[in-house]
């Protein structure tokens, strides 16, 4: 007698759509930053409410889960922030939520995690997001690393200081000089400033009410970190805090920042049923590990891994959104794949060196910008969002442009 199957018939994987992403303006961490007196969970609440406001065709009860990332999961970033933020945002109590931590790739992992659930059929629609209030919760606050990590020489001690890992990448690739890093940083500032002037950056921002004991109430409507007018000459004189006569400075790195991001992720058929826009379609994703002391090279193996799995090549990619934790990290990726550091396909609206990097929030900023760039470029079929991750990892997601019209005669 034939055995009874132990599982139901395998189901087909569904297409996963990035509907839309939004974010708060990013602030500078610290007592003088715009969010010094704003709670981290309130930033997430603002993002969730804005997503629902922009898409009234989405019944709140249809949200199957809320995944919110934070690197430092204590205080107002703790208590299973995905669930508490969902309740505070007014979602029905029937909507569950949870927290995620993959350091800088928290929001990216929130997206890929709910996407896996959607593709499998466990969800139809979910909200993914990330938050980091580095002013209230500096990286590493409250952690207790196992001493064996260092004592047993599992990693080099420099692996626990991100700026030192960037210096290590410079060591590994001497062709990436400080001058190149500074030139890339100045370019990021210039491209970001141009994107703001032309309103390419702005529509995705959610105004946030802020409070200052000295100044009273205010309204955050734009990013605080950018330094317009930055030049290679001004960057050349900055000190190198991680190493005497080093190459990593505050000018060619992302700063310490506060902010939140969020996105609606849905099965493509559900999005069409509800009349939701399809900003882009997920093709594949991959995470990879590298030596923790050179964590900045993580995007390279992650990208190679996902390209192999999807059957694509780097020449198929028409737009790149690379998180700029450090200029050297971006340059190591570009050099590996033979891409010029001034290539207009790479971070065309600038990046984190200009606008900031609130750790776990940044992945969805990359996705939001790529989605909006796709709408402007129907000749581009594929794009990627990629980032390095603390403790020696990288993550890459490949996306397809639903507006692709095939007019350029190639897959890009």
Q: Is residue 140's pLDDT more than 90?
A: no
The fraction of the chain above a pLDDT of 70, given in percent, is 97
**104, 137, 170, 377: the active-site residue:** 104
**133, 137, 170, 357: the active-site residue:** 357
Lowest mean pLDDT among 10-24, 290-304, 388-402: 10-24
Q: Is residue 56's pLDDT more than 80?
A: yes
Please report how many Cα atoms fall inside a 13 Å half-sphere around the Cα of residue 95, on the Cβ side: 25
Q: Is residue 409's pLDDT more than 50?
A: no
- Is 104 considered catalytic here? yes
pTM over 0.75: yes
Q: Is residue 412's pLDDT more than 80?
A: no
- Is 388 considered catalytic here? yes
- Is 357 considered catalytic here? yes
- Going by C-alpha positions, the residue among 338, 309, 317 that lies closest to residue 385 is 317
pLDDT of amino acid 250: 97
pLDDT of amino acid 8: 64
Is there a contact between 391 and 103 (Cβ–Cβ < 8 Å)? yes
- Going by C-alpha positions, the residue among 134, 127, 135 that lies closest to residue 47 is 127
**133, 355, 377, 388: the active-site residue:** 388
Let me know how long the chain is.
412
Q: Please give the CATH number for the structural domain made up of 16-135+147-398.
A: 3.40.47.10
pLDDT of amino acid 215: 84
* C-alpha 191 chain-centroid distance: 18
Please write the tens of the pLDDT for every residue from 72-104. 999 999 999 999 999 999 999 999 999 999 999
> Rg of the chain over CA atoms, in angstroms?
21
- 34 in the Ramachandran plot: left (φ > 0), alpha (ψ -120 to 50) or beta? alpha
Is there a contact between 62 and 124 (Cβ–Cβ < 8 Å)? yes
Structural domain spans, the chain: 16-135+147-398
Please write the tens of the pLDDT for every residue from 143-197. 888 989 888 888 888 988 999 999 999 999 999 999 999 999 999 999 999 999 9
């Amino acid at each position: 007698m034939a055995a009874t199957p132990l599982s139901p018939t395998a189901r087909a994987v569904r297409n996963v759509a990035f509907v839309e992403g939004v974010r708060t303006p990013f602030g500078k961490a610290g007592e003088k930053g715009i969010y010094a007196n704003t709670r981290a969970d309130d930033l997430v609440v603002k993002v969730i409410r804005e997503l629902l406001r922009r898409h009234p065709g989405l019944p709140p009860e249809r949200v199957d889960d809320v995944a919110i990332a934070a690197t430092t999961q204590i205080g107002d970033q703790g208590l299973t922030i995905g669930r508490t933020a969902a309740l505070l945002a007014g979602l029905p109590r029937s909507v569950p939520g949870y927290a995620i931590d993959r350091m800088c790739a928290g929001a990216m992992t929130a997206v890929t995690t709910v996407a896996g659930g959607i593709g499998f059929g466990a969800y139809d629609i979910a909200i993914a997001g990330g938050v980091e209030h580095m002013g209230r919760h500096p990286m590493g606050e409250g952690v207790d690393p196992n001493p064996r990590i260092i004592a047993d020489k599992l990693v080099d001690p420099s692996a626990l200081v991100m700026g030192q890992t960037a210096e290590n990448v410079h060591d590994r690739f001497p062709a990436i000089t400080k001058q190149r890093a500074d030139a890339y940083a100045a370019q990021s500032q210039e491209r970001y400033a141009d994107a703001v002037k032309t309103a390419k950056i702005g529509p995705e921002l959610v105004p946030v009410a802020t409070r200052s004991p000295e100044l009273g109430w205010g309204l955050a409507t734009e990013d605080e970190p950018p330094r317009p007018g930055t030049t290679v000459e001004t960057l050349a004189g900055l000190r190198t805090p991680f190493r005497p006569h080093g190459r990593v400075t505050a000018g060619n790195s992302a700063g310490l920042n506060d902010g939140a991001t969020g996105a609606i992720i849905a099965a493509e058929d559900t999005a069409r049923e509800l009349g939701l826009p399809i900003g882009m379609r997920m093709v594949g994703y991959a995470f990879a590990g590298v030596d923790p002391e050179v964590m900045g090279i993580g995007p390279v193996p992650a990208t190679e891994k996902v390209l192999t799995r999807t059957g694509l090549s780097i020449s198929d990619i028409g737009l790149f959104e690379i998180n700029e934790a450090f200029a050297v990290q971006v340059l190591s990726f570009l050099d590996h794949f033979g891409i010029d550091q001034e290539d207009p396909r790479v971070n065309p609206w600038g990046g984190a060196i200009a606008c900031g990097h609130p750790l776990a929030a940044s992945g969805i900023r990359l996705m939001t910008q790529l989605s909006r760039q796709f709408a402007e470029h129907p000749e581009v079929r594929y794009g990627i969002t990629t980032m390095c991750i603390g403790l020696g990892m990288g993550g890459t997601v490949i996306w397809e442009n639903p507006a692709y019209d095939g007019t350029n005669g190639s897959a890009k």
